Structure 1
Amino acid sequence: MNKQILIIIFLVIIPTIHASLKYPPHYLQLWRILANSKNLSSSPYHDAEGYNYLDKLSTNKYLHNNKHEIEKAKSLIFDDICVKISSLNVSKKCCEDTKTFLGSLVHRYPWALQMLDSYGKPPSGILEGDFTFPGSFDECNSAKVAIPANSTEFMLQPFKPKYCQVIFPIKALTSMNDMLVGGSIGGLHMGACFPDSCQAKDIQNLIQYDIHLLPKSISGNISSVVQCEEDRGYDSKAIISLIIISIFLLHIFLGTLYDVLLQSGKSSSNAAAQNGINNSLPTSTQDVSLKEKEAHVNCNGTKTPSKSDEELDAVSKFLLTFSVYKNAKKLLSTNQPDGTLTCIHGIRFLSMTWVILGHTYIFGMPIWRNLTIIQDFAKNFAFQGIANAMVSVDTFFLLSGLLVSYGNFKALEKTEGKFGWVYYYIHRFWRLTPPYMLVMMVYIPLFRYWGDGPYWPKDGFEINYCKDTWYFNLLYINNFLSDPQKGMCMSWTWYLSNDMQFYIISPIFILALYHSEIVGFVLIGVFSLAQLITTGVVSTTEKLPPVMFSQDSDISQKYFTDIYVKPYIRIGPYLIGILVGYLLYKNKCKMRMNRYVCAVLWMMATISAVSILYGLYNLNNGYAMTQDTASFYTTANRSVWGLCVGWVIYACCTGYGGYVNTILSWKALIPLSRLTYCAYLVHPIMMYYFYLNQRYSLHLTYVLATFLFFGFMIMAFMIAFIVSMAFEAPMIGLERLILELKRKKKNNN
């Protein structure tokens, strides 16, 4: 990587700084090609006279005072050049329009100068990691081309300007970008403005020709890729997606309208009932209340039947599952039944905000202009909590295992040990999959139409629109792709695959604990030990660091592939969650504990959690860590974190949480907790949209990151509410409706 960067800096950037006072590098080099087009087979710079004339044209003083030399330069430009450079495989139309542009520069037409000015130019801060020189995307596209046909008339727009980026790939940056923005090319990016008749291949041929003019020892290390802004017509995938979205919106509109009308009718009936009671009953009995929900009283005081929700037909109930009014009322309700583990709502919400905080820094890496500052941030003691935000995912694994365990133990108690295998798996698949697949259906084909700009990938973020890998997501096995970095669709959903895989094998532990506590404990212990050994062996044999992001992109990729997304590495906190759920069920959320023992356990949990979060502080400050120490940290940190959070939940649920439980059980967090699944699905998409819609790179500071974090957090939950109302809540309602109809059918038989 260092060699490539130095080559680009000295041979591309530094000459450009000098040339930028005249013309941008690519057009200056193009002029050289055109000036020497009379004999392309010979040395490209043999025509010193032609090149000197073009070079002199770059100053306003020369343009103003030397008309003779301007005319001579124009003759060089317009002397049938397109025929003479045909060996470069540049289309004739592109060449002709480029000649028009260059000639217009000679005449100093404002639109030509505007196109020229929109070129990317090297800024300060290259050594801080600013490898993108986007130029002005909007200035290029807004240029109004006008060529004089004669002295009085103008022929408007023989071509339109088109923004392109010339990219000199750098392997290390490309590898890092693959982890963050699938399919993007990392390297030195330079914005350019060309006629729209020039295709990316035409421009690349010209650039590559220039590169080949360099000595072979240099040109062999430099390649170029050209990406241009193109028209984006709606393809079949986008049209199908829009049709499905329209169908959902129609159902939501009809369901909400029907629900509002239904509620309005009930309100009118209740008002009439109250009037009827007051008018027909004696004063001494006016305090009688109506307890029969199935009946109303008319103005004459007589009962008239009315339809309750239970009496509605199946079609009406189907429509009501899409009602925003009904679903929002349920989501925003803070009422909790007895036995609810209320502290979990706060932990779930705070963990989701922690995920968003970490991703605020990570997902912005492709556009941070001072990328090296993150190394300085990592040296800050307070920043360790952000640098280690990845353990927040282990909190979710713990919560998932706990809820699956606790809920199923209570269900087994009611059914006297009978386990509903079919419903167990169908329920989970139906709970997760419809919102997941519907978000994917909206995101993959439509996202590329939502933005533009120098950083916006014209084909979206997913490689080949997930054509070859989408079914891995549907089957929840995308974390087992041979090359997850390049093939995983919606890469952040690796978590869902792990969670589903853990859920599939959970009955082994739950049933073992229910029927034989000793067998259950032994089984969980064996799996936990196997996980620890596997993690230690993998991290040691592959010499992996204790964190995913490192200066060596290959190591980062290997860590992600072999450690970060594999279920046999991540199952530790989930197993701890199953144990905590079992203990809460067994003890009925009650426990007598000596206050000193409780204080010691709180202290141990706090110290352990702080050690996990801040244990890499010395490593981030340049102190060496042995491989054995790194492997030990990688092996133990997730399970230890799970034990710490597990203790917090257990203490809060058994009456030893104090103010911690009061905060985590705050009722305002309950609706936000219910939105965390949808927030997890959509927040990376929202971040991609913001970051890659920028026109210029951003300078990362704590202040900027703080404002971005709060903005992302608020927007993520707002969008999650919309997604929940559109995709999640209706599917939950449909599941309940199907079960209700099935139960009624069974009772009738």
Structure 2
Amino acid sequence: MNKQILIIIFLVIIPTIHASLKYPPHYLQLWRILANSKNLSSSPYHDAEGYNYLDKLSTNKYLHNNKHEIEKAKSLIFDDICVKISSLNVSKKCCEDTKTFLGSLVHRYPWALQMLDSYGKPPSGILEGDFTFPGSFDECNSAKVAIPTNSTEFMLQPFKPKYCQVIFPIKALTSMNDMLVGGSIGGLHMGACFPDSCQAKDIQNLIQYDIHLLPKSISGNISSVVQCEEDRGYDSKAIISLIIISIFLLHIFLGTLYDVLLQSGKSSSNAAAQNGINNSLPTSTQDVSLKEKEAHVNCNGTKTPSKSDEELDAVSKFLLTFSVYKNAKKLLSTNQPDGTLTCIHGIRFLSMTWVILGHTYIFGMPIWRNLTIIQDFAKNFAFQGIANAMVSVDTFFLLSGLLVSYGNFKALEKTEGKFGWVYYYIHRFWRLTPPYMLVMMVYIPLFRYWGDGPYWPKDGFEINYCKDTWYFNLLYINNFLSDPQKGMCMSWTWYLSNDMQFYIISPIFILALYHSEIVGFVLIGVFSLAQLITTGVVSTTEKLPPVMFSQDSDISQKYFTDIYVKPYIRIGPYLIGILVGYLLYKNKCKMRMNRYVCAVLWMMATISAVSILYGLYNLNNGYAMTQDTASFYTTANRSVWGLCVGWVIYACCTGYGGYVNTILSWKALIPLSRLTYCAYLVHPIMMYYFYLNQRYSLHLTYVLATFLFFGFMIMAFMIAFIVSMAFEAPMIGLERLILELKRKKK
């Protein structure tokens, strides 16, 4: 394997056109002469056919005194080059332009040397996992091909340079398998600069022919893939997306302008009034209120219509749903009605930042120069909280179950047990889907146009995944794809599919608890037990580790497919959330508890949570874990985590939260809490944009990751605010407007 890597490096840093020659690459001697003006006697070069062009002479002396030898080399290289590669399915134009490139190197034209210099070269740190040699993307593309008008030698003709990457899919070295997460490197990537007439297939044929010249013992398993930077015109999907975005922006502009004019008129009327009549803005209610029928993680609060709003016609109300002025005022409001679960805001915000922290490390893996350091990070005790950031998703499941159950229990109490089935499902679908689909509409067709560089995917990051499976996202079943890791569009949205699937079956538990507490508890107990048994059986039979990231990429993928994204594995915290919501409803957020009992429960919750987060510390430090222990951890950790967070919420809502409740209920977190759904949707896109726009790989350190995390967190919530104002808030306003018009008709 070491031989394969060295050969690949040698082949790719040399322009691949030499593969067509009958003899070894004779023009290499010319390049080395032209690129070095020093005396080269200390490093003579002899090829397999006995050529020795350097002959221990300086470059200048050689050029002046050995013209015959140079002309001989030129003849070997240029005169018959296109004839010799005609059998390789390489286009004539590509051959001629490459001939121009090589001839210009002989003449030492600056642009040709610039193209050559832009080639990727093996750096230090290969054994640390740096298998990407991008070269200089900008240097290649900025080369200005300029050939003297009187130059006819080698049929010189102008062309444009084009940056390409040659990728050799190779398995990680045996000695590195224990160091690289997943046990595999993505392949050896090397940047190269070619004439724009050379298509990826031309370059690949040349390189593959190079490989075939090698002994079969070392070339049999080497293959290559070529990706080139191409001109990207806007396709029909991108144009349609831009049109839809423009329509939204137009409505937002008109709605905001109309609202500002409306508010200005009200202000003038109030200023003219002499009696000081109070015409205050309507109060905003919080989206995590116990009085709400259902409160999912969304980007907006709710609003009680004022008299002035009631007097407006339907068209005016429609425009106002797009008003940034109005929607931002509601979102940024910190007013909370009685009965609000104030601690939810802090838990939701902190969980979202935890997700961003974990993804900062994971999503940057394609460009980390020193991948093997992750193994060292995992041995650090403090890093366990980052390595186990995935449990933050279970917190969201718990919150969702809690808010859905409590809101619907209150609604059932008001309607005397009547359940609005149609509205229940339509409301949820309408709240989640428009921003979800609109973000996807912006991301999939347009992402490819946002950047460039050696890491930038020319067809978009997930265009192949989403092209055939986007409707799985619309139906909220993308977590049931046969190979979710390779075919899931916007892979992080597996959470939304699980959440929707849990929501669909929630009435079974809610109605059972409402009409018969015993039946409800038994039903939830049966489902919870089934979840635990299923998780244990799958984990044991598949011999899966306790976490997704394994030294074997196949095992990691199986864990993701069979454990991580499946609803029958992840439902535990959601069911616990339903129970916590029921207890809050039944006890009306009031409970008398002995302080010693309270202290014991807090201690148990703390110890359990710490055990979940840091329980794998010994495993990460090389200590073996039996399969039974691994299966037990996989089976219990999510439900135990749900119980811990459930206790924190219950204690805070019933007056036993102390300083924890004070911190989690801080009013400044309310607007940020409302943005978590939008932040969850957009933060991976933002990370991809940053990482894939890099020109060179990054050296991962704690300091770098810390700065990236805070930058990502701030930008995620800023972009979430924009998405909320553009997509989420107008859709919520339209839902309310439709319901209002429907009530008036009745």
Residues 386-465 of structure 1: matches in 2 within 5 Å? 386-464=386-464
What secondary structure, in the 3-state scheme, does the structure 2 residue paired with 1:274 have?
coil
Moved more, 601-610 or 301-310: 301-310
What secondary structure, in the 3-state scheme, does the structure 1 residue paired with 2:670 have?
helix
Q: Could you say which residue in structure 1 is the equivalent of 2:616?
A: 616
Contact 1:277/1:297, CA 8 A, preserved across alignment: no
Provide closer, same or farther for how the CA distance between residues 152 and 62 of structure 1 changes in structure 2, counting only shifts above 3 A. closer
Offset from partner CA, 1:320-374 (integer Å, 9 cap, x none)? 0000000000000001111110000000000000000000000000000000000
Offset from partner CA, 1:127-163 (integer Å, 9 cap, x none)? 0000000000000000011112217999997100000
Moved more, 79-88 or 598-607: 79-88
CA distance in 2, matches of 1:90, 1:492: 41
Provide closer, same or farther for how the CA distance between residues 616 and 48 of structure 1 changes in structure 2, counting only shifts above 3 A. closer
What secondary structure, in the 3-state scheme, does the structure 2 residue paired with 1:419 have?
coil
Moved more, 228-237 or 280-289: 280-289
Q: How far off is 1:296 after superposition?
A: 39
Moved more, 216-225 or 426-435: 216-225
TM-score by length of 1: 0.89
CA distance in 2, matches of 1:44, 1:426: 78
Contact 2:131/2:188, CA 8 A, preserved across alignment: yes
Moved more, 268-277 or 610-619: 268-277
Provide closer, same or farther for how the CA distance between residues 590 and 602 of structure 1 changes in structure 2, counting only shifts above 3 A. same
Provide closer, same or farther for how the CA distance between residues 725 and 156 of structure 1 changes in structure 2, counting only shifts above 3 A. farther
Q: How far off is 1:467 after superposition?
A: 2.1
Q: Could you say which residue in structure 2 is the equivalent of 1:238?
A: 238
Provide closer, same or farther for how the CA distance between residues 548 and 28 of structure 1 changes in structure 2, counting only shifts above 3 A. farther
CA distance in 1, matches of 2:655, 2:158: 78
Provide closer, same or farther for how the CA distance between residues 47 and 392 of structure 1 changes in structure 2, counting only shifts above 3 A. closer
What secondary structure, in the 3-state scheme, does the structure 1 residue paired with 2:124 have?
coil
Provide closer, same or farther for how the CA distance between residues 134 and 23 of structure 1 changes in structure 2, counting only shifts above 3 A. farther
Q: How far off is 1:71 after superposition?
A: 2.4
Contact 1:564/1:570, CA 8 A, preserved across alignment: yes
Moved more, 70-79 or 574-583: 70-79
Q: How far off is 1:121 after superposition?
A: 0.3
CA distance in 2, matches of 1:297, 1:571: 17
Q: How far off is 1:452 after superposition?
A: 0.3
CA distance in 1, matches of 2:117, 2:399: 55
Q: Could you say which residue in structure 2 is the equivalent of 1:225?
A: 225
Provide closer, same or farther for how the CA distance between residues 236 and 288 of structure 1 changes in structure 2, counting only shifts above 3 A. closer
Q: How far off is 1:76 after superposition?
A: 2.1
TM-score by length of 2: 0.89
CA distance in 1, matches of 2:501, 2:324: 32
Provide closer, same or farther for how the CA distance between residues 477 and 4 of structure 1 changes in structure 2, counting only shifts above 3 A. farther
Provide closer, same or farther for how the CA distance between residues 213 and 301 of structure 1 changes in structure 2, counting only shifts above 3 A. closer
Q: How far off is 1:289 after superposition?
A: 31
Moved more, 243-252 or 68-77: 68-77
Provide closer, same or farther for how the CA distance between residues 283 and 646 of structure 1 changes in structure 2, counting only shifts above 3 A. closer
What secondary structure, in the 3-state scheme, does the structure 2 residue paired with 1:468 have?
helix
Provide closer, same or farther for how the CA distance between residues 432 and 32 of structure 1 changes in structure 2, counting only shifts above 3 A. same
Moved more, 458-467 or 106-115: 458-467
Provide closer, same or farther for how the CA distance between residues 56 and 256 of structure 1 changes in structure 2, counting only shifts above 3 A. farther
Contact 1:498/1:566, CA 8 A, preserved across alignment: yes
Q: How far off is 1:169 after superposition?
A: 0.8
Offset from partner CA, 1:618-662 (integer Å, 9 cap, x none)? 000000000000000000000000000000000000000000000
Contact 1:295/1:303, CA 8 A, preserved across alignment: no
Moved more, 737-746 or 56-65: 56-65
Provide closer, same or farther for how the CA distance between residues 27 and 668 of structure 1 changes in structure 2, counting only shifts above 3 A. farther
Q: How far off is 1:8 after superposition?
A: 5.4
CA distance in 1, matches of 2:24, 2:243: 46
Q: Could you say which residue in structure 1 is the equivalent of 2:203?
A: 203
Percent identical residues: 100
Contact 2:546/2:634, CA 8 A, preserved across alignment: yes
Provide closer, same or farther for how the CA distance between residues 208 and 287 of structure 1 changes in structure 2, counting only shifts above 3 A. closer
Offset from partner CA, 1:51-81 (integer Å, 9 cap, x none)? 6559999967745664332222222222132
Offset from partner CA, 1:394-423 (integer Å, 9 cap, x none)? 000000000001110011111111100000
Q: Could you say which residue in structure 2 is the equivalent of 1:658?
A: 658
CA distance in 1, matches of 2:295, 2:556: 66
CA distance in 1, matches of 2:565, 2:316: 44
CA distance in 2, matches of 1:574, 1:282: 34
Q: Could you say which residue in structure 2 is the equivalent of 1:293?
A: 293
Contact 1:343/1:652, CA 8 A, preserved across alignment: yes
CA distance in 2, matches of 1:638, 1:304: 38
Provide closer, same or farther for how the CA distance between residues 278 and 509 of structure 1 changes in structure 2, counting only shifts above 3 A. closer
Provide closer, same or farther for how the CA distance between residues 683 and 280 of structure 1 changes in structure 2, counting only shifts above 3 A. closer
CA distance in 2, matches of 1:384, 1:618: 11
Contact 1:35/1:50, CA 8 A, preserved across alignment: no
Provide closer, same or farther for how the CA distance between residues 506 and 175 of structure 1 changes in structure 2, counting only shifts above 3 A. farther
Contact 1:297/1:303, CA 8 A, preserved across alignment: no
Q: How far off is 1:17 after superposition?
A: 20
Provide closer, same or farther for how the CA distance between residues 460 and 151 of structure 1 changes in structure 2, counting only shifts above 3 A. closer
Offset from partner CA, 1:668-708 (integer Å, 9 cap, x none)? 00000000000000000000000000000000000000000
Q: Which runs of 5+ in 2 are unaligned?
A: none
CA distance in 1, matches of 2:293, 2:415: 31
CA distance in 1, matches of 2:388, 2:626: 19
Residues 119-268 of structure 1: matches in 2 within 5 Å? 119-150=119-150, 158-170=158-170, 186-268=186-268
Q: Could you say which residue in structure 2 is the equivalent of 1:515?
A: 515
Provide closer, same or farther for how the CA distance between residues 666 and 69 of structure 1 changes in structure 2, counting only shifts above 3 A. same
Contact 2:465/2:486, CA 8 A, preserved across alignment: no
What secondary structure, in the 3-state scheme, does the structure 1 residue paired with 2:54 have?
helix
CA distance in 1, matches of 2:362, 2:258: 45
Moved more, 8-17 or 211-220: 8-17
Q: How far off is 1:83 after superposition?
A: 1.8
Q: How far off is 1:477 after superposition?
A: 0.1
CA distance in 2, matches of 1:428, 1:354: 26
Moved more, 47-56 or 32-41: 32-41
Provide closer, same or farther for how the CA distance between residues 274 and 36 of structure 1 changes in structure 2, counting only shifts above 3 A. closer
Moved more, 226-235 or 142-151: 142-151
Contact 1:37/1:85, CA 8 A, preserved across alignment: no
CA distance in 1, matches of 2:412, 2:206: 72
Q: How far off is 1:462 after superposition?
A: 1.2
Q: How far off is 1:605 after superposition?
A: 0.2
Q: Could you say which residue in structure 1 is the equivalent of 2:23?
A: 23
Q: Could you say which residue in structure 1 is the equivalent of 2:588?
A: 588
Provide closer, same or farther for how the CA distance between residues 322 and 216 of structure 1 changes in structure 2, counting only shifts above 3 A. same
Contact 1:580/1:646, CA 8 A, preserved across alignment: yes
What secondary structure, in the 3-state scheme, does the structure 2 residue paired with 1:56 have?
coil
Q: Which runs of 4+ in 1 moved over 4 A?
A: 1-65, 151-157, 171-185, 275-307
Aligned length, in residue pairs: 746
Contact 2:103/2:156, CA 8 A, preserved across alignment: no
Provide closer, same or farther for how the CA distance between residues 600 and 13 of structure 1 changes in structure 2, counting only shifts above 3 A. farther
CA distance in 2, matches of 1:69, 1:465: 55
CA distance in 2, matches of 1:612, 1:129: 30
CA distance in 2, matches of 1:741, 1:27: 79
Q: How far off is 1:186 after superposition?
A: 1.9
CA distance in 1, matches of 2:255, 2:204: 54
What secondary structure, in the 3-state scheme, does the structure 2 residue paired with 1:50 have?
coil
Contact 2:258/2:320, CA 8 A, preserved across alignment: yes
Contact 1:528/1:575, CA 8 A, preserved across alignment: yes
Provide closer, same or farther for how the CA distance between residues 318 and 157 of structure 1 changes in structure 2, counting only shifts above 3 A. farther
Q: CA RMSD in A?
A: 7.9
Contact 1:32/1:45, CA 8 A, preserved across alignment: no
What secondary structure, in the 3-state scheme, does the structure 2 residue paired with 1:335 have?
coil
Contact 2:165/2:192, CA 8 A, preserved across alignment: yes
Contact 1:17/1:122, CA 8 A, preserved across alignment: no
Q: How far off is 1:485 after superposition?
A: 1.4
Offset from partner CA, 1:82-129 (integer Å, 9 cap, x none)? 022201111111011101111111111110100000000000000000
What secondary structure, in the 3-state scheme, does the structure 1 residue paired with 2:227 have?
strand
Offset from partner CA, 1:476-515 (integer Å, 9 cap, x none)? 0000001111111000000000000000000000000000
What secondary structure, in the 3-state scheme, does the structure 2 residue paired with 1:445 have?
helix
CA distance in 1, matches of 2:75, 2:48: 15
